[in-house]
Structure 1
Amino acid sequence: MEYVFTATETGTPSGNEAEAKALLHMLDATEDGIELFAVDCFNDVTGMDNPCFVLHDAQSKAEKNISPAKLGRYLVTLLENHLSEFSQFFDSLTLFVGGVSKTVLQNPELVEFGFHDIEAKAQKKVQDSLIEECKKRKNGIDDNLLSEDNINDFLSKVHFVIFRENREDYIKPLVRTSAPIMPDSKKLKRIFTEIRDKQSALKNRAGIAGKRITHPDRVIDLGRVVKRRDIELLVIQRILNRDFLRDDTPKSFIHYLNQIPDEEDPDAITEDCRHAIYRQFFDKNNSEAFWTFLDEVVTTIDNSNQKDIEEIYDQLKVETRKACTHLERRSCLYFIATIKDGLYK
């Protein structure tokens, strides 16, 4: 069993933006267990679990007012993967588009839909166009596989999504916090642009056409995979204006370190605090605790920004501190210092 990569596409500004929106849409779908994203490998974007046994395949088209015939043509790469030797790994198939023509949907208000939501006449055009496009391409799909049953089975599994217009709408779901520290529209757009550019940089690496792999996890070796954690970490770093894993120790915490016994190592304490915050941020089973803590710290500082980090800590609700099971007193103080120095510098 092997998968052969075909020629990759040259990126365009609109195409790069569409692919970034597809990635961020899937990233927000946490129930799918997506931890990795393969960029311009199996398709425009493919979400994967860590061992790469479950793949969520996505093709994206920025074009608006797409006709039924074009919808059919744009489904080809998804069908190729559905019928490939890796078919067992593809758990979901999604076509992201900028918009569809009035002749496509029974209910034109839908922004996410299945093939059954498409008008009967339009369905026929999608099917015919898909088969015609497959026969044109040198994709290795045997004509015998393009039976009515196979095509209908494939189309029943495809999920269609119309992009949201605003870039910031793709970042807001990643910032699970209240109004006081929600970045403004310009900052949210900048975060989106940074993620888009990182994704485009992977796409623009040396081509992989003709390369063969025997299992989806081999795609990691091709240097075109971005981790969910890296994207989520980038977002929180931009909100806090600090990289709490690499930046210098916050000034507010240095004052605390100056009071500890000489026998203790400040560098070790700082490192332990950073790793504790990292573990808390990425604790999927208790993700809200991190954001609740962040909100409460910001509110406390807003009420009196003259307080030092220990005074802020003492004012936090006991329930808030207890919920952050990875944070003990010192790591809480370090995080408070990070927020205080980052947000209000």
Structure 2
Amino acid sequence: MPYTIKSSEKLRPSGAEYETKALLYLMNFRTDSPEVYYYVVDFFNDLTGMNRTGRKMWDIQSKGAKNSSPRALGKELVTLYKNYTSDFDFDYFVLFLGGVSNTVRIDDKKNIFDINNIKPSAYKQLKQGLLEECNDKNYIDDSKISDKEIVEFLKKVQFVVDDKMPYEYVKSIIKTHTKLIPNEGILNGIFNEIRDKQASKKNSSVVENITITTTHEALNHSRHLTAGEIRLLTLSRIINRNLFDQGPPLPFYIILNNIPDERKKDVILESRLALSRALFNKNNANTFWSLFENIYSTIVQNPLDNVNVLYDKLNNDIVEQCYDFEVISLKYFISLIKDGIE
């Protein structure tokens, strides 16, 4: 059955921060985060995660208000409910919040919770707020608005209250590799770049009133990011060098000068493809950051060593685990990092 895009938003600066926090929450803070491949911006909702095949979806609505009442929360659930009642199958529904009033939760210490942690009086008001908002919108069929349907929907909703600063969300990209983590100012700068990149997707094409018949058709409109793109941005800022837009790094010429001229372009392309595979390999992300940390530390400790010597000083177990690289492409990666931090 078709799905028609309604109420896609223009950029709201006040909400942009929370939309980016929601993205980084989905990318790094859930047990199923590794499954999410695409982050679709302002299409089905503020943010919708998709797996690699485009058939599994995490639907997220974000709200930046710090003291939302139960009734206000109910109203904010309307786009999630719209998707719940659609003919598309959304696997998860998440309301990402800047904060809630003290009348909402039974246990105020739980920042990730479902309706079981909502006070009975608040639950009643939340239902009423959602019902009112459903009746106010023209994109939900009246036949799909009922107390029974709303009750079943609310059982599937997860509420997430933001409890982190922007720089903490960026730290989560790098995982636990503390040697790589720059100061808060740089981390906040990275967060702002991710926010701006995410916001730019809202302006990439007009999707209001577009009708699609399959979930993966959403990807045809270029309103999505991937975890690999976000890791690339983060990595580029840490070493202060764009990994793909410039020519070969100077330290790599110790390798390149010995390669026949007719092979040089192929070697550079093959090395970049290997780096791209490593960056976009979500199943091996933590090993990639371990390798990056090992290379970074080795260069800092041995600044006068050339690429060949640095290669021999790396932790062989980590190198073996990062299977997207072979010898030459890994030396290219070492050269990029060395060029960026010198």
Question: Would you call these one fold, judging by a TM-score over 0.5?
Answer: yes
Range that drifts further, 314-323 or 91-100: 314-323
- 1:189 is paired with a residue whose SS is helix
Q: Give the distance between the partners of 2:283 and 2:60, measured in 1 at CA.
A: 27
**Equivalent residues of 1:34, 1:48 under 8 A apart:** yes
1:296 alignment partner in structure 2:
294
- The answer for the alignment partner of 2:133 in structure 1 is 133
Native 8 Å contact 2:105 2:118 kept in 1: yes
Query: Aligned pair count?
Result: 340
Residue by residue, what CA displacement relative to the aligned partner does 1:101-159 show, whole Å, maximum 9, x if unpaired?
001001111111111100111111111221122122222322x4333322111001001
Partner of 1:283: 281
Residue aligning to 2:150 = 151
Contact 1:5-1:208 within 8 A present in 2 as well:
yes
* Amino acid corresponding to residue 83 of structure 1 in structure 2: T
Contact 1:280 1:290 in 2 (8 A): yes
CA offset digits 1:259-312 (Å, max 9, x no partner):
x25476222222222212222333334333322222222222222211111111
Deviates more, 1:11-20 or 1:111-120: 11-20
TM-score (structure 2 length as normaliser) = 0.93
CA distance 1:329–1:208, shift in 2 (3 Å): closer
Is 1:228 the counterpart of 2:233? The answer is: no
Change in 2 beyond 3 A, CA 1:188/1:124? same
Contact 1:15 1:62 in 2 (8 A): yes
RMSD (Å), alpha carbons: 1.9
Distance in 2, Cα, partners of 1:294 & 1:77? 40
Give ranges in structure 2 of 5+ residues lacking alignment: none
1:105 and 2:105 aligned: yes
Distance change in 2, residues 1:22/1:311 (3 Å): same
Does the CA contact (< 8 Å) of 1:7 and 1:207 recur in 2? no
Q: Residue in 1 aligned with 2:42?
A: 40
| Structure 1 residues 281 and 208: CA distance shift in structure 2, 3 A | closer
- The DSSP-based 3-state class of the residue aligned with 1:90 is coil
Inter-CA distance 307–164: structure 2 relative to 1 (3 Å threshold):
same
Q: Sort the Cα spacing of 1:9 and 1:164 in 2 relative to 1 into closer, same or farther, 3 A.
A: same
* Distance in 2 between residues matched to 1:233 and 1:202, nearest whole Å: 17
Measure the CA separation in 2 of the matches of 1:199 and 1:277: 23
Report the residue type matching 1:248 in the other structure: G
* CA–CA distance in structure 2, aligned partners of residues 10 and 205 of structure 1: 11
Q: Read off the aligned partner of 2:56 and give its amino acid letter.
A: V
Q: Deviations over 1:161-209 (max 9, x none)?
A: 1123411111111113533321211111111111111111221345422
Q: 1:24 and 1:242 mapped to 2: Cα distance?
A: 23
Q: Distance in 2 between matches of 1:27 and 1:286?
A: 14
Q: After the TM superposition, which segments of 4 or more aligned residues of structure 1 sit over 6 Å from their partners?
A: none
Which deviations, in whole Å up to 9, do the C-alpha atoms of 1:208-234 show, x marking residues without a partner? 222211111222233322233222222
Structure 1 residues 208, 329: closer, same or farther in 2, change over 3 A? Answer: closer
Q: More displaced, 242-251 or 59-68?
A: 242-251
- Cα 1:30–1:123 change in 2 (3 A) is closer
Query: Taking every aligned residue pair, what percent have the same amino acid on both sides?
Result: 35
> Could you tell me which residue of structure 1 aligns to residue 70 of structure 2?
68
- Whole-angstrom CA distance in 2 between matches of 1:326 and 1:44: 33
Deviates more, 1:92-101 or 1:288-297: 288-297
Q: Name the counterpart of 2:332.
A: 334
**Aligned runs of 1:1-345 on 2, under 5 Å?**
1-28=1-28, 29=30, 31-32=32-33, 33-86=35-88, 89-142=89-142, 144-176=143-175, 178-258=177-257, 260=258, 262=260, 265-344=263-342
2:61 and 2:80 in contact (8 A); partners too: yes
Contact 1:37 1:226 survives alignment (8 Å): yes
